[in-house]
Amino acid sequence: MKKYDRIKSVLKWINNYFTFFLLVAFVITCCTMLFVSILTETLGITLNAENISAAAKVTFWNVVLLSFLFTVIDTVRRKIMVDRPVKQITDAAEKIVQGDFSVRIPSRNQIGSDDTFNRIIDCFNKMAEELSSVETLRTDFIANVSHEMKTPLSVMQNYGTLLQSKDLSEEKRIEYAKGVTDGSRRMAEMMTNILKLNRLENQQIYPKVTEFDLGEQLCECLLQFESVWEKSSIEIDTDIAENVKIKADEELLSLVWNNLFSNAFKFTEEGGTVSVKLTATDNHAVVTVSDTGCGMSAEVGSRIFEKFYQADTSRSVQGNGLGLALVKRVVDIMHGEIGVESSVGVGTTFTVRIRRS
């Protein structure tokens, strides 16, 4: 096996360097012969066997020497300009294969360095960056899911243990059973949201486009929260333009309104107001959902579309921080825009702008 490898490397060496040596020798010989033949013709010199044999010997060794020199120069050039960057790139690629996504290749700024290598290095570094951010997202996502599941699970465990105690009053039994049901409902909700988000992110959902009345959809979604606003005495203010037909995926879009309304009611104190407004131009429909709730700071506002982000921990029992991530994804799929304006203690307004067709 070793012998075979050695033969292979010799053949490779011949292929790489000896071919180049022969090529240079051939070119120099041709040039020399051309030069000699033109010189003898123009000067009218006739060469005899003695002259030719003496000159041929000197020329032969000159050709060998020059070809050897060029081969050495080319070998060194190839080592520096080609082999070194190729080795850097393959070493880095091997590290990526082993799961080290932090590897980056410095770009080559040497004089005369090949720009193609810099382009490959640029692409490689971008690929490594992308892979490492995907990896961070994946590990963060797993950490977040496990963390979010722990809370309802431990609540359910506690209630389960309490339910096992003897001599429980009927009232306590119902309370503990409700605790178990609430915990499992929360987990089921979170799983549904994770699955929805996963399907949306992997683009397994292709919008089922139909034409429908957006105003009617908004009213239907809003009515689902009737019991909530009645319980908290929240006032509803609607200004919905009539006959605004749009071509979009009705089911996906209802996810957006349900999440925005649910947040508006969740973060608005008793006696507050939630307003819904719909305006339209020929090409776009604009929906604003405003509330007079607790509002949020600019820092919170910049993070609300992140997965699992929840600023208000006191109300976090009612959510899992996935609602707005879902909203953003749906709006993106529809090539729409979503914006938020909010001030602490005053309220929040979400504005969604979508194409009508």
| The binder of ligand ADP chosen from 152, 215, 323, 336 (CB under 6 A) | 323
Tokens of 230: 């009645």
Sheet containing 235-240: which strands, arranged edge to edge? 235-240, 273-280, 284-291, 347-355, 337-343
Closest approach of ligand ADP to the CB of residue 268, in Å: 7
How many residues in total does the chain contain? 357
- 46-54, 83-91, 173-181, 263-271 -> range binding ligand ADP (CB under 6 A): 263-271
Q: What angle (nearest 5°) sits at the alpha carbon of residue 282, between those of residues 277 and 285?
A: 30
Residue 230: CB minimum distance to ligand ADP, A? 19
- For ligand ADP, the closer of residues 215 and 272 by Cβ is 272
Which residue number, 71 or 310, has a Cβ lying nearer to ligand ADP?
310
Rounded CA gap, 178 and 185, in Å?
10
Half-sphere exposure in the Cβ direction for 109 (13 Å, CA): 1
Query: Between 323-333 and 170-201, two packed helices, what is the crossing angle to 10 degrees?
Result: 30
* Closer residue to ligand ADP, CB minimum distance, 144 or 348: 348
- Asked if residue 148 binds ligand ADP (CB under 6 A), the reply is no
Bridge partner list, 348: 291, 342
- Closer residue to ligand ADP, CB minimum distance, 222 or 324: 324
Dist CA 200 CA 188 (whole Å): 18
* Per-residue tokens: 235: 């006032």
Q: Is the separation of the CB atoms in 339 and 331 below 8 Å?
A: no
Q: Which helix (H) or strand (E) holds 330?
A: helix 323-333
Sequence-ordered alpha helix ranges (H) in 79-169: 84-97, 115-164
Q: Which of 217, 267, 292, 334 binds ligand ADP (CB under 6 A)?
A: 267
Cβ-based nearer residue to ligand ADP, 183 or 295: 295
Rounded to a whole number of angstroms, the minimum distance from the CB of residue 259 to ligand ADP is 6
Contacts of 102 (CB under 8 A, 6+ apart): 128, 132
- The burial class, CB within 10 Å (0-12 / 13-18 / 19+), for 169 is exposed
Choose among 35, 22, 14: nearest CA to 63.
Answer: 22
Tell the burial category of 168 from Cβ atoms under 10 Å away from its Cβ (0-12, 13-18, 19+). middle
Residues 281-320 that bind ligand ADP (CB under 6 A): 291, 293-296, 300, 304, 309-312, 316, 319-320
Is the Cβ of residue 85 or residue 295 nearer to ligand ADP in the bound state?
Answer: 295
- Is the Cβ of residue 28 or residue 296 nearer to ligand ADP in the bound state? 296
Residue with tokens 């319980």: 231
Shortest Cβ distance from residue 262 to ligand ADP (Å)? 7
**CB nearer ligand ADP, residue 28 or residue 330:** 330
Footprint of ligand ADP on 57-116 (CB under 6 A): none
Options 28, 329, 348, 352; binder of ligand ADP; rule CB under 6 A? 348
Query: Least Å distance between CB 140 and ligand ADP?
Result: 15
Q: Which is nearer to ligand ADP, 24 or 264 (CB)?
A: 264
Provide the mask over 32-61, with x wherever binding to ligand ADP is found by CB under 6 A and - wherever it is not.
Answer: ------------------------------
Q: Is the dihedral of CA 205, 207, 212, 214 positive or negative?
A: positive
What would the x/- binding string for ligand ADP be over residues 189 to 208, using CB under 6 A?
--------------------
For ligand ADP, which is the closer residue by CB, 300 or 333?
A: 300
Q: Cβ-closest residue to ligand ADP?
A: 319
Cβ distance 121 to 107 under 8 Å?
yes
Counting residues that bind ligand ADP (by CB under 6 A) gives 24
Residue numbers at the binding site for ligand ADP (CB under 6 A): 259, 263-264, 267, 291, 293-296, 300, 304, 309-312, 316, 319-325, 348
